[in-house]
Amino acid sequence: MADPGQALTSLRQQFEQELTGARTESDLRGVRDRYLARKGGLVSGLLKSLGSAPIEERPRLGQLANTLKAEIEAALTARLEAAAQARPPKGTVDVTLPGRQPVIGHRHPLSLLRERIEGIFTRFGFLVIEGPELEDDYHNFEALNMPPEHPARDMQDTLYLSSPVRSLAGTAATLLRTHTSGMQIRYMERNSPPVRLIAPGRVYRRDQFDLTHTPMFTQVEGLVVGEGVSLADLKGILTAFARELFGDARQVRLRPSFFPYTEPSAELDISCAACGGRGRLAPKPGMNPSGAAGLAAPNPGMDPSGAGGCPMCKGTGWIEVLGSGMVHPAVFEAVGYDPERFTGFAFGMGIERIALLKWGVEDIRLFYENDLRFLEQFRP
């Protein structure tokens, strides 16, 4: 058994330390209970242990122990009283406490991207127009050089309404628009050239809901009409747009394509960011780099199945961004523009597709599942 005299001294030291360390009233009450509790308190434990001291020592040790107990009681009472006095009156607000940060939401990534695209074209002097999602056959197909028997209608897997409804534009709508190109027609019907506009909005197709398709997605259509508007203007505007959105380092090319309402038509491709346009990823250390890996220019002839082929661009070095072309004269005739006098170009892109490319997202459905852990990653 420890020497009772020594136990007394070390208990005093321990108490002084704990008292200094106690910051709050509840800390102080904790110390009080630990030392002064009748049952199991450290002081009563010490008093009991004096029974094992030599009989002639007991009176002196008992006196010392009682003094220590009185000191502990007095010190605790003083501190608890001081703490009670410092306690703010009930209902007081401590203005020195740090504020609670409100959780602020933000716009959906697709909205952010749409605003970004609108911002770029607004700076290029384009008007932003919107129109009805319920559309009639004339504005969705016929005026865009797709008469009823035109095979191009097969390209669009359209969602038709079971019965016509009156659209916002006042016409009898029979379908959910498959593109926002109808807005080009609506605008040209009411306005004379020059025209410089984009039409963003939701469009609908009978597509599967899978990695790269949704039955509803967001499109941005653009139209420029004037005297002397040429393919060079198309390339200039779209190149400036692509570099603004994807960065100056990207190569841009036009690739011949086909759309019923433009002639000639072209897809705009940008060089792949994942492989730097080489069509294959940089060889891993230890691998023998083949000749193609050192090519600076994109290499469309590469075998996509080859080892190291870039999965992002499937080995071509290029990523398709949007469709475009010079407006077909038949479209101008439909809206009463003189195709001998005016020329123009049109383009269209899917915002979801651009989002996948820009942020390297692999599954388009993530944008529609409203999982905040995903959505919160895209801040303005």
The binding site for Zn ion (CB under 5 A) comprises 272, 274-275, 310, 312-313
Cβ nearer to Zn ion, comparing 274 with 293: 274
At closest approach, how far in Å is the CB of 358 from Zn ion? 15
At closest approach, how far in Å is the CB of 251 from Zn ion? 12
Q: What is the DSSP string of 213-242?
A: --SEEEEEEEEEEETT--HHHHHHHHHHHH
Residues 6 or more apart whose CB falls under 8 angstroms from that of 179 comprise: 140, 156, 203, 219, 221, 348
At closest approach, how far in Å is the CB of 280 from Zn ion? 8
CA distances from 74 to 14, 19, 64, 68 (A): 16, 12, 15, 10
Cβ nearer to Zn ion, comparing 257 with 299: 299
- Rounded CA-CA distance 19/28 in Å is 7
Cβ nearer to Zn ion, comparing 237 with 272: 272
Cβ nearer to Zn ion, comparing 278 with 328: 278
Cβ nearer to Zn ion, comparing 43 with 272: 272
- Token pair of 164 as six digits: 């016509």
At closest approach, how far in Å is the CB of 310 from Zn ion? 3
At closest approach, how far in Å is the CB of 372 from Zn ion? 31
Residues 6 or more apart whose CB falls under 8 angstroms from that of 269 comprise: 252, 253, 254, 255, 318, 319, 320, 321
Q: Which residues of 42-108 form beta strands (DSSP E)? A: none
- Rounded CA-CA distance 80/86 in Å is 10
- Rounded CA-CA distance 143/182 in Å is 8
At closest approach, how far in Å is the CB of 283 from Zn ion? 14
The length of the chain in residues reads: 380
- Rounded CA-CA distance 80/84 in Å is 6
At closest approach, how far in Å is the CB of 93 from Zn ion? 59
Cβ nearer to Zn ion, comparing 120 with 312: 312
At closest approach, how far in Å is the CB of 318 from Zn ion? 8
Q: What is the DSSP string of 322-369?
A: EEEEEEPHHHHHHHT--TTT-EEEEEEEEHHHHHHHHHT-S-GGGGGS
Cβ nearer to Zn ion, comparing 139 with 280: 280
- Rounded CA-CA distance 270/252 in Å is 5
- Residues in a beta bridge with 257: 265
Cβ nearer to Zn ion, comparing 179 with 250: 250
